[in-house]
């Protein structure tokens, strides 16, 4: 993302923003090998090579983590009310990371966090359709026509849901309970819960088990792991390709 040069320098810890302006006008800064003395020039710290007095400024290390979020935790970096937040579960991460989309307070499972704003934007933008798979526990056993409704689209107050994949994962007649696996291609607020409420099978437990090519499996509750560079690449590619499919390309 492009930002003003003096802001980028200040955020890289070179000096205060005011002092960075002086450094720029003094001709001490180069962008992609060219001296730049004008204030207000915009740069992308991820793409442009920026030097001060011939030294490259610190580029921020990109961090991508997959957390198995427990229920009863807020998807946020801080809570003024003192409740637990997802970043409380990343003790080894010093960088400031932000959630990619959100899971409700009571939803568990796969949540990505990163300090790469562009990556987060790409994955959560409504024009991209990265599949998200959830296991929803409901009271009772919804029959086939109910599942068909969920598959074909449910009228919610913010519009019709797009086609989803829906199947039984488990049925427990003793407990009068079933687990339904649902894959949606949108990320609307409380979407899965609202879809099941609309067919009168409120969700009692919700867990995200898959996001694009990534699985929750192998990460214990409340723990996290780093994504591999290959996984980051695959996610980006999936977001871009789902955009193309939607546009019929
Ligand atoms: N759908 C929901 O209802 N809740 C979530 O947290 C995610 C998807």
Q: What is the domain count for the chain?
A: 3
Q: Using 50, 70 and 90 to split pLDDT, how confident is the model at 82?
A: confident
Residue 107: DSSP 8-state: E
Q: Which ligand 1 atom lies nearest to the CA of residue 193?
A: 3
Domain boundary among 13, 40, 56: 56
14 with 118, same domain: the answer is no
Q: What is the CATH number of the domain that holds 142?
A: 3.30.70.1560
Ligand 1 within 6 A of CB of 104? yes
Among residues 93, 117, 128, the alpha carbon closest in space to that of 211 is found at 128
Q: What is the CATH number of the domain that holds 225?
A: 3.30.70.580
Q: Which ligand 1 atom lies nearest to the CA of residue 107?
A: 6
Cα of 195 to ligand 1 centre, how many Å?
Answer: 10
205 with 149, same domain: the answer is yes
Structure-model confidence comparison of residues 106 and 247, the more confident one:
106
Check whether 35 has a pLDDT greater than 90. Answer: yes
Ligand 1 within 6 A of CB of 193? yes
Backbone phi, then psi, for 192, in 5-degree steps?
Answer: -65, -45
Q: Tokens 């590619």 map to which residue?
A: 237
Are the C-beta atoms of 52 and 14 separated by less than 8 Å?
yes
9 with 52, same domain: the answer is yes
Check whether 243 has a pLDDT greater than 70. Answer: no
Nearest CA, atom 5, ligand 1: 103
Q: Using 50, 70 and 90 to split pLDDT, how confident is the model at 219?
A: very high
Given this model, what pLDDT does residue 211 score?
A: 97
% of the chain surpassing 90 pLDDT: 69
138 with 201, same domain: the answer is yes
Backbone phi, then psi, for 92, in 5-degree steps?
Answer: -90, 0
Structure-model confidence comparison of residues 34 and 94, the more confident one:
34
Q: Pick the catalytic residue: 104, 106, 148, 170?
A: 104
% of the chain surpassing 70 pLDDT: 96
Which domain, by its residues, includes 159? Answer: 132-211
Ligand 1 within 6 A of CB of 103? yes
Q: What is the CATH number of the domain that holds 43?
A: 3.10.290.10
What are the structure tokens assigned to 135, written together? 């296991």
Ligand 1 within 6 A of CB of 243? no
Nearest CA, atom 3, ligand 1: 190
29 with 138, same domain: the answer is no
Check whether 46 has a pLDDT greater than 80. Answer: no
Residues 92-107: pLDDT tens digits?
898 889 899 999 999 9
78 with 196, same domain: the answer is no
Are the C-beta atoms of 243 and 129 separated by less than 8 Å?
yes
139 with 203, same domain: the answer is yes
Check whether 245 has a pLDDT greater than 70. Answer: no
Residues 142-185: pLDDT tens digits?
999 999 999 999 999 999 999 999 999 999 989 999 999 999 99
Are the C-beta atoms of 25 and 37 separated by less than 8 Å?
yes
Structure-model confidence comparison of residues 127 and 36, the more confident one:
36
Among residues 34, 29, 36, the alpha carbon closest in space to that of 14 is found at 29
Please, which residues have CB within 8 angstroms of residue 80's CB and are 6 or more apart in sequence? none
121 with 224, same domain: the answer is yes
26 with 149, same domain: the answer is no
Q: Using 50, 70 and 90 to split pLDDT, how confident is the model at 59?
A: low
Instruction: Calculate mean pLDDT across residues 100-119.
Output: 94
103 with 148, same domain: the answer is no
Please, which residues have CB within 8 angstroms of residue 237's CB and are 6 or more apart in sequence? none
Given this model, what pLDDT does residue 162 score?
A: 95
Given this model, what pLDDT does residue 247 score?
A: 36
7 with 44, same domain: the answer is yes
Residue 88 annotated in active site: no
Q: Using 50, 70 and 90 to split pLDDT, how confident is the model at 44?
A: confident
Concatenated DSSP letters of 163-212:
P-EEEEEEEETTTTEEEEEEEES---TTHHHHHHHHTT--EEEEEEEEET
Check whether 72 has a pLDDT greater than 90. Answer: yes
199 with 222, same domain: the answer is no
Check whether 197 has a pLDDT greater than 90. Answer: yes
Structure-model confidence comparison of residues 58 and 166, the more confident one:
166
């Amino acid at each position: 993302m492009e930002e003003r040069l003096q802001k980028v320098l200040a955020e890289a810890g070179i000096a205060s923003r005011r002092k960075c302006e002086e450094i720029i006008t003094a001709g001490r800064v180069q962008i992609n090998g060219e001296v730049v003395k004008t204030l207000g020039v915009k740069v992308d710290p991820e793409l442009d090579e920026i030097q001060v007095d011939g030294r490259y400024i610190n580029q921020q290390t990109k961090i991508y983590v997959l957390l198995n979020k427990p229920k009863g935790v807020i998807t946020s970096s801080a809570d003024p009310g003192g409740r637990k937040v997802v970043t409380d579960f990343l003790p080894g991460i010093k960088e400031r990371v932000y959630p990619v989309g959100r899971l409700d307070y009571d939803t568990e499972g796969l949540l990505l966090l990163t300090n790469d704003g562009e990556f987060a934007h790409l994955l959560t933008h409504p024009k991209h359709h990265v599949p998200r798979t959830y296991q929803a526990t409901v009271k009772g056993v919804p029959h086939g026509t109910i599942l068909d409704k969920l598959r074909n689209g449910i009228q919610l107050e913010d519009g019709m849901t797009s086609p989803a994949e829906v199947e039984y994962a488990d049925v427990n007649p003793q407990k009068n309970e079933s687990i339904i696996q649902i894959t949606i291609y949108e990320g609307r607020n409380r979407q899965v819960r609202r879809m099941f409420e609309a067919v009168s099978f409120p969700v009692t437990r919700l867990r995200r088990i898959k996001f694009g090519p990534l699985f929750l499996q192998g990460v214990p509750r409340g723990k996290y792991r780093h994504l591999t560079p290959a996984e980051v690449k695959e996610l980006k590619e999936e977001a871009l390709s789902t955009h193309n499919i939607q546009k019929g390309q």
